[in-house]
Amino acid sequence: MPLYLAPPCSPAAAAKLVAGVRASPHSRHLIRSPHHPASRRISLSSSSSSVTESGPGPAMAAAEAGASAAPSSGVKQALISLSDKTDLANLGRGLQSLGFSIISTGGTASSLEAAGVNVTKVEHITHFPEMLDGRVKTLHPSIHGGILARRDQEHHLKALNEHGIGTFDVVVVNLYPFYNKVTSGPISFEDGIENIDIGGPTMIRAAAKNHKDVLVVVDHEDYPALLEYLQGKQDDQQFRKMLAWKAFQHVASYDSAVSEWLWKQSSKGDIFPPSFTVPLSLKSTLRYGENPHQKAAFYGDKSLSVFNAGGIATAVQHHGKEMSYNNYLDADAAWNCVSEFANPTCVVVKHTNPCGVASRQDILEAYRLAVKGDPVSAFGGIVAFNTTIDEDLAKEIREFRSPTDGETRMFYEIVVAPGYTEKGLQVLKGKSKTLRILEAKRSGKGMLSLRQVGGGWLAQESDDLAPEDIAFTTVSQKAPTDSELSDAKFAWLCVKHVKSNAIVIAKNNCMLGMGSGQPNRVDSLRLAFRKAGEEAKGAALASDAFFPFAWKDAVEEACENGIGVIAEPGGSMRDKDAIDCCDKYGVSLVFTAVRHFRH
């Protein structure tokens, strides 16, 4: 919100002005009105503020007549300047019924007048016209003096009295919708700059700093609480402090968007600024954290970089119990994994690890194969699809029996998909009252990944590489067949989402077994073979990192178990041992030159 600036007025200049003598062009000053209706106190509001002013009014006549410019006592004033005018009429009427005189700006004043609320425009207080294409409107001692003056400091009040400035009790301001403007589509740099609010943050910060005397509101949802507070007899400083905190947080979030946007305009592609702020907004308080003795909450990220980027944080929940801390982690892992696949795919996740993955043109078959990959782990897990769930698939999910006994109906914590038919959603809701049904948008690429460590944060680019982005280079004597190479690429895409040390065995676009999170690669490999069983023969094996040893180690063990092709990054000092071992057993070995550690 733009503000008006005015230099201080000297007694000499005032005398010249009153006497009709033209002051020097370099010392144009304003004379404050005695206690014009506009020198009231301030009222609260929500988003962006924008203040307007006009020409001289009755106060100038009073000054010219030599009247003393002293604010009258007992007049309560509210300053309102809003971009988002939600519930403005109710606020204005409520403040007026409580005896407040309302000072307002431009469009806000017009809206209040249309609602039948008496308003004094800001320009009738400042007696200074809007200038510089609206950049200067309200940044004026007549406004900010009335906001910042401490009522317990006699010299502050004396100064106001000497200059004819009245105090504000309530300030209601919200800001130009900069975030919405720069995320609405292509925008020129000049247009972005002109949408940066200046006056609004200034008034908000001033009122929040002086919250002991001034109530500041930046959120329309706080209007009822404000009016209720003003009706009371007691002065609750805690309420004032909470409004002040919210005001500073509002401005901080706003400034973070401006800062992020400007960095992108000037950084020449550097994604790591020297410092930056992540604006987080509380979406829900969770029942507990990772464990019942830990408190937890879920926040949405309002950074420009994640606008419209999809993901679990913006998913719509259609049904079921409220999401838990672990639910969010598992759902995020499942959705990120299934979003990688182009063909119809089902992913089953347990404790953030995919325990079943299958791609088929028939999504029902893909679902059955994904569960079959590890039915014990799948029970109580998260099921994710990259296709719309229709009635047939919903029935299959609802009625499918565990492959372990053919009788137990499969239980899931969450089902997540990009969409549901009306009938499909109705059928799926019938599976369980507690089943969480999420609808999510495909996660965007190119995101900055943040992770907290004690006393700091790690930042890195997201791991967005797909099989099409890399070369699978044959380094063994035996080259993989087309089907083996296809299996190797599928396994490589799966292993990318498994916790290190990670091994995945896959065949025919279906994950047969995986080993995750083991301190050594041999144990992960043995876990994967144990789950894959006899189906591992002729299958593809992918490793998230190179094999440090081959003979009498993971590579030879994989060859002895009948694996058909191995895909690994390469880069070990003993790569030749791995190549020689695969050549001995007639196994194809391909290097990707890309590691996929996941911690």
Q: Active-site residue numbers?
A: 209, 351
Q: What letter represents residue 186's amino acid?
A: P
**DSSP reduced 3-state for 186:** coil
- Interior angle at CA 461, CA 460 and CA 466, nearest 5: 140
Alpha-carbon distance of 112 to 106, in angstroms, equals 10
Q: Supply φ then ψ for residue 78, to 5 degrees.
A: -125, 130
- Short-list 566, 593, 569, CA closest to 476: 566
Q: What letter represents residue 141's amino acid?
A: P
Q: At what angle do helices 106-114 and 88-97 cross, to 10 degrees?
A: 70
Q: 327 is written with which tokens? A: 């639910």
Max Cα–Cα distance, the chain, nearest Å: 108
Alpha-carbon distance of 213 to 202, in angstroms, equals 17
- Short-list 35, 223, 31, 8, CA closest to 146: 35
Q: What is the DSSP letter of 285?
A: E
Alpha-carbon distance of 489 to 520, in angstroms, equals 23
- Whether residue 353 has a cis bond before it, omega within 30° of 0: no
Alpha-carbon distance of 502 to 334, in angstroms, equals 16
Alpha-carbon distance of 248 to 218, in angstroms, equals 10
